[in-house]
């Protein structure tokens, strides 16, 4: 079943607006997705109808707020195939989730001279917390090489695993190359080597059918704002037995069972990790977003995005003055709807400015993956378009026209 894109588009109020006098063409969903009315309404209904703090109120609207906040975790668990709401810790975003793992699990399990292994295709948020942990503990941070500028070099991965890292962390889908990594296989290999595994799902959870029980990783992180939910809500998803053993990173209200002047004991999961008043409206919005995606069906979401990405790659192939990064069309099965490219002789910021004047939102720069862009792509800045459930082929056509305009304006004409 394919997505009914026209009906989906009607759910997104922003898609009826203009940018620079032109109908908005939004091709920057890898940075943040647009929000459907169902999510906007869920947040505003909470404020208009039952705004109250959660967990502690013994009155109707506080009970409803608590119920919806907890219920949202159930919906998210269903979307990604997690066990139950007890495995879902709400945090601000994927970045915070990785930091919590590094600070809690990392601090307890990584010591001097131990190794942490990540890949060379990571977003800064899956590099910097590990660098900080390594520095704190005197540990060694290793990087898995990339082959053909597109995918994890599995033989290098195997070799680096022989050094028995304590933690392995890698992105499920790259925000620059679009590469989908085989999270299940990589997790199995890491587990055989005795490492705990964190999978960065910031670019996969919004776009792919995910079954965490099947992948088997220890930690999975995601950001709500990239998957139709509000900003400021994300999730750290982990198996209960691991969360039980971990120390909380933040202390304060709600995360405790008892407090005396001498010591405190911790609340049950997942509340032990949620200190202080939470982003209640964000959680409620996350639930609405998860239900929206569940209703569409993630298989259908994937099929739509795969088709539009394939179309974009085909159209870009026609332009001999454009270089596209990441897996090619023949590897479309291992590519999400993220397409980074470079127009010969045109700086990516100039390209983005031309797109902007045409009402098209794309991103340019290092995409918070400076080492990847510098070392693997060998550039300082590239352009990126990224697709979601509401994008159409004719928007790809508009992007192709804008590339032509940018080339005309800033680059030398192709011979």
State the Cα torsion 303-307-310-312 to the nearest 10°.
Answer: -130
Site pattern 170..189 for ligand PLP (x: CB under 6 A): -x---x--------------
Two tokens at 35? 């929000």
At residue 203, φ and ψ (nearest 5 deg) are: -105, 0
Lay out the site mask for ligand PLP across 220-249 (x = CB under 6 A, - = otherwise): ---x--------------------------
Find, among 101, 322, 74, the residue nearest to 220 by Cα: 101
Size of the site for ligand PLP (CB under 6 A): 13
Beta carbon of residue 316, minimum distance to ligand PLP (angstroms, whole number): 21
287: part of which helix (H) or strand (E)? helix 280-296
Question: CB-hemisphere CA count at 13 Å for 278?
Answer: 30
* Site residues (CB under 6 A) for ligand PLP, limited to 41-70: none
The residue among 339 and 346 lying less far from ligand PLP, judged by its C-beta, is: 339
Minimum distance between the CB of residue 303 and ligand PLP, rounded to whole angstroms? Answer: 22
Residues of span 91-130 touching ligand PLP by CB under 6 A: 93-95, 123, 125-126
Pick 169 or 267: Cβ nearer ligand PLP: 169
CA distances from 392 to 94, 186, 212, 357 (A): 28, 33, 30, 20
Q: Please state the closest distance from residue 35 (CB atom) to ligand PLP, in A.
A: 15
Three-class secondary structure of residue 274 per DSSP: coil
3-state helix, strand, coil in the chain (%, to 5): 45, 20, 35
Residue 390 structure tokens = 């509401």
Active site residue 217: no
Strands (E), 95-252: 115-119, 140-144, 146-147, 151-152, 167-171, 196-200, 219-223, 234-238
Nearer to ligand PLP, 173 or 354 (CB): 173
User: Catalytic: which of 316, 368, 403, 406?
Assistant: 368
For ligand PLP, the closer of residues 339 and 354 by Cβ is 339
Under the criterion CB under 6 A, does residue 202 sit at the interface with ligand PLP?
A: yes
Instruction: Report the SS3 class of residue 117.
Output: strand
Distance CA 273, CA 224 (A): 18
As measured in angstroms, the least distance from the Cβ of 175 to ligand PLP is 3
Rounded distance between C-alpha atoms, residue 332 and residue 131, angstroms: 33
Instruction: Output 72 or 126, the one with its CB closest to ligand PLP.
Output: 126
Nearer to ligand PLP, 238 or 354 (CB): 238
Q: Site residues for ligand PLP, window 359-378 (CB under 6 A)?
A: 368
Tell the smallest beta-carbon distance from residue 394 to ligand PLP (Å).
26
Smallest distance, ligand PLP to C-beta of residue 33, A? 11
Annotated catalytic residues are: 368
Positions in the binding site for ligand PLP (CB under 6 A): 93-95, 123, 125-126, 171, 175, 200, 202-203, 223, 368
């Amino acid at each position: 079943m394919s997505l009914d894109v026209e009906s989906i588009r009607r759910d997104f109020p922003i898609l009826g607006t203009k940018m620079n006098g032109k109908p908005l063409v939004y091709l920057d969903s890898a940075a943040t997705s647009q929000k459907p009315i169902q999510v906007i309404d869920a947040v505003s209904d909470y404020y208009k109808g039952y705004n109250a703090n959660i967990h502690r109120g013994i009155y109707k609207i506080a009970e409803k707020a608590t119920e919806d906040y907890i219920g949202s975790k159930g919906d998210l668990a269903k979307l990604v195939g997690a066990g139950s709401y007890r495995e879902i810790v709400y945090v601000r975003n994927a970045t915070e989730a990785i930091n919590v793992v590094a600070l809690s699990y990392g601090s307890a399990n990584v010591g001097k001279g131990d190794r942490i292994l990540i890949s060379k295709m990571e977003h800064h948020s899956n590099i910097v917390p590990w660098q900080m942990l390594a520095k704190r503990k005197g540990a060694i941070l290793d990087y898995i090489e990339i082959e053909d500028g597109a995918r994890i070099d599995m033989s290098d991965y195997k070799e680096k695993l022989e050094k028995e890292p304590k933690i392995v962390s890698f992105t499920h889908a790259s925000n620059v190359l679009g590469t989908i990594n085989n999270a299940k296989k990589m997790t199995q290999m890491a587990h055989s080597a005795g490492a705990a595994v964190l999978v960065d799902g910031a670019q996969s959870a919004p776009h792919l059918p995910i079954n965490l029980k099947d992948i088997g990783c220890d930690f999975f992180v995601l950001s709500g704002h990239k998957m139709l939910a509000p900003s400021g809500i994300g999730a750290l998803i982990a198996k209960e037995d691991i969360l039980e053993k971990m120390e909380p990173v933040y202390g304060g209200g709600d995360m405790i069972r008892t407090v005396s002047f001498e010591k405190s004991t911790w609340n049950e999961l997942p509340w032990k990790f949620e200190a202080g008043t939470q982003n209640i409206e964000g959680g409620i919005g996350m639930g609405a977003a998860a239900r929206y995606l569940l209703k569409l069906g993630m298989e259908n979401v994937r099929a739509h995005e795969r088709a539009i990405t394939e179309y974009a790659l085909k159209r870009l192939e026609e332009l001999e003055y454009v270089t596209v990064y990441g897996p090619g069309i023949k590897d479309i099965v291992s590519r999400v709807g993220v397409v980074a490219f470079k127009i010969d002789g045109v700086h990516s910021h100039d390209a983005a400015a031309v797109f902007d004047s045409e009402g098209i939102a794309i991103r340019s720069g290092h995409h918070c993956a400076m080492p990847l862009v510098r070392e693997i792509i060998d550039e300082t800045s590239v352009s990126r378009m990224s697709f979601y459930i509401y994008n159409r082929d004719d928007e790809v056509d508009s992007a192709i026209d804008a590339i032509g305009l940018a080339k005309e304006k800033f680059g030398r004409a192709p011979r």
